[in-house]
Amino acid sequence: MALAANIRLVLFDVDGVLTDGRLYFDNNGNESKAFHSRDGLGINLLQQSGVQTGIITARQSNLVAHRARNLKIAHLIQGAVDKYPAYLELRDELGLNDNQIAFVGDDVVDLPVMLKVGLAITVPEAHTLVGQHAHWTTKHAGGCGAARDACEMILHAQGTFTSAMQQFLMRKDKIEL
């Protein structure tokens, strides 16, 4: 996909993209989420290929902060009910233009950012309006490898997939997936 060739930053929503969108609470009100290890590897491959990664999410969660730290995601913005101003601030802070940024989202709260970025990606079970405005839809559902699909598509478009995979397979250090 030509739109992916110049992407320098990939931003992810959490609920519905990095997770399946379901929210789990125990009797004490403690939240839990499930993240897929395939997504973690995809994010790592992007990072080692020089593409920055970030999260913009409307919710606030210690679990998300922990996951972002594990994956060395440099840009974490939580509690952004209106994601558009957060997006603009990060874009300007990094000195990037919209065409250099991809956003992976699934619901109408993501649309303002998705309509602005150079590459809008969604998941198969996204809200209809989001699907209509996305440039590309992942094969796998949110929380089930969707982020990995997006990462690999970008790596293929940039011609770096094979070298990123070879480099990963030769690593001796342990990474968090």
Residue 71, token pair as written in the block: 């994956």
Cβ 102 vs Cβ 11: under 8 Å: yes
Longest CA pairwise span in the chain (Å) = 48
pLDDT of 172 reads: 65
Stretch 128-137: mean pLDDT: 98
pLDDT of 174 reads: 61
Residue 102, token pair as written in the block: 């991809």
Give the integer Cα–Cα distance in Å for 172 and 158. Answer: 25
Segment 140-177, tens digit of pLDDT: 999 999 999 999 999 999 999 999 999 888 876 666 65
pLDDT of 160 reads: 97
DSSP labels for 43-69? HHHHHHTT-EEEEE-SS--HHHHHHHH
pLDDT of 177 reads: 58
Cβ 17 vs Cβ 134: under 8 Å: no
Segment 43-97, tens digit of pLDDT: 999 999 999 999 999 999 999 999 999 999 999 999 999 999 999 999 999 999 9
pTM comes to 0.94
pLDDT of 173 reads: 67
Segment 95-121, tens digit of pLDDT: 999 999 999 999 999 999 999 999 999
Q: Mind listing the domains of the chain with CATH numbers?
A: 2-169 (3.40.50.1000)
pLDDT of 40 reads: 96
